[in-house]
Structure 1
C-alpha cells in the first residue's frame, strides 16, 4: 500500500470510525427491531382508540367488519340506494352486485358497473352473502360527543385547574429547591430527607384527614382543595429541581453577589435562565398530572357539575353511552389532544430537563 493509500484509509477511518463487523450489525438490527416492537405495543391502544372513534354503529355491530372505519358498500340507481354484495355466479366468478329485490330462495341484483344490462336473477339466500366495505371515517362522532358531553365547559375547567396548579407548583417547588441547593442552615439534610420521605407515604393514608380538614373549613365543593396544595411544593419536583440546580456553578452566584444582587435577584437573573429545561419538565409533569387527575375532583367536587374537569365528566359520559364504543373513544381522543401536543412541542426541552445535566464553566 502506498503512502497516499494509507493516508486515504486513515482519513476514512477518522471520519466514519472503525468498520462494523457482521455480528455488531446483527445485534444493532435486533435491538432496533425489539425497540420498535415495544414502541408499537405501547402505541397500540392509542391506534385502537383513534380507529374505533371513527367507526359507525353499523360497523361496530358487525363481527366481521374490517379494522379501518368503513361502511357497507352501496349503489344508487334511479334515486334509490341498494346494498352491494359479493355474489358467486354459475361461471365460477364472484362479482360485486347491488341487491334490488331480496328473496328467500331467489333474488335480483344489478351490476353497478353496467346497470343498463338489467336485473340479474340469482338462486339462493342473499343473507349468506358477504358485503364489501368502503373506507368511510365517521367524523360526526366527534361533533356529537362535543355537544353531548358539554366539552367546552369541561375543557375550560380542566385548563384552568391545570394551569393554576402548574404555576403554583413551579413557583413553590423552585423556591424550596433553591433554598436546599444554595443555602446552608442547621438541619438542612434532615429536612430534605424528611421531605423525600413523604414520597413513600401512600395517598390513602392522608386522604381522610385531608378531606376532614377541607370539609371543616368549607372548601369542599370548590376548587380550593385542588389548587391551594399546589402552592406548598411537593417532594418529587423539589428533588428534581434541586438536583439540577446543584449542577449550576456557584461561581455565577458569587459574581452576582459581588455586584450587589440579592438572593431573589440571583435566582431570577442567574439561576432560572440556566434551569429552564428542568422547569419545563416540571411544568409538563404537573400539567399532565393535573389534567389526568380523576380521584381528587371526584371527591371534592361531587354534586357540582359546573366545576367538574374532563376526566370526571368523561367517566360519567362513558357510563351513560357504554353501548357506543365509538363515542367513548372519541371522547378519549379529544381529551388526549392537548397533553400530547404539549409534549410534542417541548419534547427536546423535556428530555433535557429529565436527564440532569450541568453547564460548562
Structure 2
C-alpha cells in the first residue's frame, strides 16, 4: 500500500525539463545569430581600422593572407669591418636537430646560404642547405598611427571640421526653431483645414529632391547665393516636413490639461510652448537635432553643387571624397580620413544614446 501511494505521488518532470531545454536551445540560437549579425556589421569597420595603421607594403602583403600590420625585423651588423653598418633580413631557419632559429641572411644562394646568429655574431657564418626563399621572415606587430597625423595635415581637418560644424549647428538651430513652431501649431491650434494642410506637408516627404533641384539651384544662383553656405543653411529655417511630423506626433501625446492649467495661470501660447511643451519634449527634440546633424554631416550632393570652386568652404563629406580621388593609391590614408570623419557623429550618438533612442521610439511608435 505504501509503495503504491509513493508511486501515485511521483511527478513526471520530463515535460518540464523538455520545455526548459527547448527554450534554452532557442535562446542560444537567437543569441548566436545576433552575435553573427553584429560581427558582420562591424567587420568592415575593423578592416578600415587595420588598413589605416598599415603602410602600402603591409597592405600588399595583406593580400597574401597577412591581416595584422606586421613589419619585417632586420639586423644591422658591420660584417666586413669597414665601419659601415650593413642591414640583413631575419628569417626563421630550421636546423638539422629539428629546432628553429632566428638568423640573419648574409649570403643568399640557390642551394646553400650563409646566415649569421644576431645573438652571437662572433661565432661567424652558419651554412644552411636549402632554398632560402621558402623561409619565413621574422616579423613584429608595428601599427603606423602616424597615418592619422599625415591625413590630418594633408586634408586640413581643422578647417573642414569647422566648416561642417558651422553648417550643421546653424542648420540644426534653424530646423529646431521652425519645426517646433510648425509642429506646435498643427498639434494645438484650430487651423482651418488643418488636416488637409498637414497631409500636403507630409506628401512633400515622398517628393524626390531631384524634382526641385534645377529650379532651386536657378533661384539661388539668381540671388547670388552660390559659392556660399547660405543655400545649405537658410532652407532649414523654413521647417522640414519629416521633423514637423515627428514633433507633432509627440506634442499630441502631451495632455492638453497641462496647457489649460498654464493658461489659467495667465500663460499665452508662446509661454505654454516654452514652459510646458518643450520641457516635456526633450527626447523628441534631441532626436530631431541628431537626425539633422547626421544628415548635414553626411550631405555630399548639396555642398558639391553649391560650393563648387570654393575649397575653403567645403564640409568634411566633399573634402574627404576629393581626398580619396587624389590619394586613392594610398589606401591607408583614405581609410584614416574616413575613420576620423566618423568620430564626431559616433561620439554624439554615444553621449546622447539613451535620449536619442527614446526619442526614436516615441516619435515613431506612440500615437
TM-score of the aligned structures, taking structure 2 as reference length: 0.88
Q: Which residue of 2 is the match for residue 35 of structure 1?
A: 34
Q: Which residue of 2 is the match for residue 23 of structure 1?
A: 22
Q: Which residue of 2 is the match for residue 337 of structure 1?
A: 343
The separation in 1 between residues aligned to 2:185 and 2:122, in whole angstroms, is 86
Q: Which residue of 1 is the match for residue 11 of structure 2?
A: none
Q: Which shifted more, 110-119 or 191-200? A: 110-119
Displacement of 1:30 after TM fit? 1.1
Q: Does 1:349 align with 2:348?
A: no
The separation in 2 between residues aligned to 1:169 and 1:125, in whole angstroms, is 70
What SS is found at the alignment partner of 1:207?
A: helix
Q: 1:320 to 1:105 in 2, by over 3 A?
A: farther
What SS is found at the alignment partner of 1:194?
A: helix
The separation in 1 between residues aligned to 2:37 and 2:118, in whole angstroms, is 45
Displacement of 1:100 after TM fit? 2.8
Q: Does 1:135 align with 2:141?
A: yes
Displacement of 1:95 after TM fit? 2.9
Displacement of 1:277 after TM fit? 0.7
Compare CA radii of gyration and give the structure with the larger one. 2
Aligned length: 341
Q: 1:156 to 1:357 in 2, by over 3 A?
A: closer
Q: Which residue of 1 is the match for residue 8 of structure 2?
A: none
What are the within-5 Å matches in structure 2 for residues 183-332 of structure 1? 183-332=189-338
Q: Which residue of 1 is the match for residue 91 of structure 2?
A: 85
Residue-by-residue CA offset, 1:145-192 (whole Å, 9 max, x unaligned):
111112111111111111111111111111111111111111110111
The separation in 1 between residues aligned to 2:311 and 2:50, in whole angstroms, is 30
The separation in 1 between residues aligned to 2:77 and 2:352, in whole angstroms, is 54
The separation in 1 between residues aligned to 2:320 and 2:130, in whole angstroms, is 48
Query: Is residue 66–residue 133 contact of structure 1 (8 Å, CA) maintained in 2?
Result: no
Q: 1:37 to 1:49 in 2, by over 3 A?
A: same
The separation in 1 between residues aligned to 2:259 and 2:122, in whole angstroms, is 88
Q: Which residue of 2 is the match for residue 160 of structure 1?
A: 166
Query: Unaligned regions of 5+ residues in structure 2, if any?
Result: 1-17, 79-84
Q: Which residue of 1 is the match for residue 66 of structure 2?
A: 66
Displacement of 1:88 after TM fit? 2.9
The separation in 1 between residues aligned to 2:265 and 2:346, in whole angstroms, is 43
Q: Which residue of 1 is the match for residue 154 of structure 2?
A: 148
The separation in 2 between residues aligned to 1:61 and 1:73, in whole angstroms, is 17
The separation in 2 between residues aligned to 1:210 and 1:293, in whole angstroms, is 17
Residue-by-residue CA offset, 1:8-59 (whole Å, 9 max, x unaligned):
xxxxxxxxxxx97111121111111111211111111111111110011221
What SS is found at the alignment partner of 1:264?
A: helix
The separation in 2 between residues aligned to 1:65 and 1:101, in whole angstroms, is 28
The separation in 2 between residues aligned to 1:347 and 1:222, in whole angstroms, is 33
The separation in 2 between residues aligned to 1:74 and 1:56, in whole angstroms, is 17
The separation in 2 between residues aligned to 1:80 and 1:20, in whole angstroms, is 72
Query: Unaligned regions of 5+ residues in structure 1, if any?
Result: 1-18
The separation in 2 between residues aligned to 1:94 and 1:347, in whole angstroms, is 53
Query: Is residue 249–residue 363 contact of structure 2 (8 Å, CA) maintained in 1?
Result: no
Displacement of 1:129 after TM fit? 2.5
The separation in 1 between residues aligned to 2:122 and 2:199, in whole angstroms, is 86
What SS is found at the alignment partner of 2:362?
A: coil
Q: Which residue of 2 is the match for residue 47 of structure 1?
A: 46
CA RMSD of aligned residues (A): 2.1
The separation in 2 between residues aligned to 1:249 and 1:84, in whole angstroms, is 76
What SS is found at the alignment partner of 2:136?
A: coil
What are the within-5 Å matches in structure 2 for residues 112-123 of structure 1? 112-123=118-129
Displacement of 1:98 after TM fit? 2.0
